[in-house]
Structure 1
Amino acid sequence: MPVMPTPPLPGRPGTPASPEVIEIERALTRVTYLSTRARQHDRLMALAGVPLDRAAVALLRHIAECEPLRPGELAQRLGVEASHVTRTVQQLDRSGHVRRVPDPRDGRAQRIELTHAGRSAVARIRDVGVRGMQAALTGWTPEELEHLASLFHRMVDDFLAHSFEEDGEPGPAQPTGTGG
């Protein structure tokens, strides 16, 4: 594979990116492309029996990973406009996957939580996704898989911390990875 010229890092003029970081970015771009194609999403949803669009699935999965949050908090954590979350929550509420519950700290506000149907949908989506990933990674040792999972969690935590540093805001209280 030819080595491309090293571009300077954003925010650090003249500091070139390492070849390893460039290769990681390229690999992540490929993974993102493969996992976010519409055809791939449609196939996953058909296998899981969940007729939701990509935005709804992303929000549903995020809600499953945390305590009930206000729509604005969900938007902040996902890095999207609040109006996108509001529309998607309305869709998920109509389909019976989420419900609005009073915020115990502020009776005027509402938080979004999964319903039984929402938890079931997330479980089916995860099951189909895990089975596909398991099939793709059959040649990997348990140690390699454990190491990769640890590195991915560490990378996501570092991305989150860095993205909030750039915004001048404290990072969200997120579950951390498996260490590293």
Structure 2
Amino acid sequence: MSTPASTAILTALTHLMTQWSSPRVQSQYAEAAGVNIDSGDIAIVYTLGMQGNLRSSALADRLRLTRPTMSKQLHRLESTGLIVRRPDPEDGRASFIDLSEAGRAAYGALVSRGIAAIETAIGDWSPDDREHFAELARRFVTSVGVDIPDTSQKEE
């Protein structure tokens, strides 16, 4: 049964996801962060930055990409020096993908830019409203089956 609140949440989330994940917006954020990266590769950098090294197949599964698409993107990121491949010690045919030093710097710059965008959006919110929204967002994302790390930090 649809409620006005459910409809409003769906509408807001659809607009947010469409805007935030659009190649144009992602390219603008990357440019503002000083990161030279194809907009389609940003999700890979975020995922590796948040979760650490992964096999390419696991990375493709998490990002819901085909293996050929993932392979193409990884070759592009490797050629720009943002990722490194390390052999899997348990399976000589496989390798782990991780951010290089330059990739970690790019990840940090992208995260800083994203936080700046959020700070702009909630700049006039009270600390209580910010904390409440953060908790509700974590709770919602977890309830729809997305496993997210707890990144809450005490404000100093």
Specify if TM > 0.5.
yes
**Structure 1 residues not aligned, in runs of 5+:** 1-15, 162-173
Match of 2:9 in 1: 24
TM-score normalised according to structure 2 size? 0.87
Match of 1:140 in 2: 125
Three-state SS of the structure 1 residue aligned to 2:144 is helix
Higher normalized contact order (CA 8 Å, seq sep 6+, divided by chain length):
2
Aligned mates of 1:86, 1:119 — CA distance in 2? 20
1:175 Cα deviation from its structure 2 partner: 4.1
Q: 1:178 to 1:143 in 2, by over 3 A?
A: farther
**Structure 2 residues not aligned, in runs of 5+:** none
1:54 Cα deviation from its structure 2 partner: 2.2
Q: Of residues 81, 86, 101 in structure 2, which corresponds to 1:96?
A: 81
Matching of residues 54-133 of structure 1 within 5 Å: 54-133=39-118
Match of 1:40 in 2: 25
TM-score normalised according to structure 1 size? 0.76
Whether the aligned pair in 2 keeps the contact of 1:99 and 1:112 (CA below 8 Å) is: yes
Three-state SS of the structure 1 residue aligned to 2:145 is helix
1:177 Cα deviation from its structure 2 partner: 4.4
Q: Give the number of aligned pairs.
A: 152
Runs of 4 or more consecutive aligned structure 1 residues displaced over 3 Å after TM superposition: 174-179
Letter in 2 for 1:48: A
Taking only the aligned residue pairs, the percentage that are identical comes to 29
Structure 1 window deviating more from structure 2 (51-60 vs 149-158): it is: 149-158
Q: Deviations over 1:73-122 (max 9, x none)?
A: 01111222222211111111110000110113323210100000000001
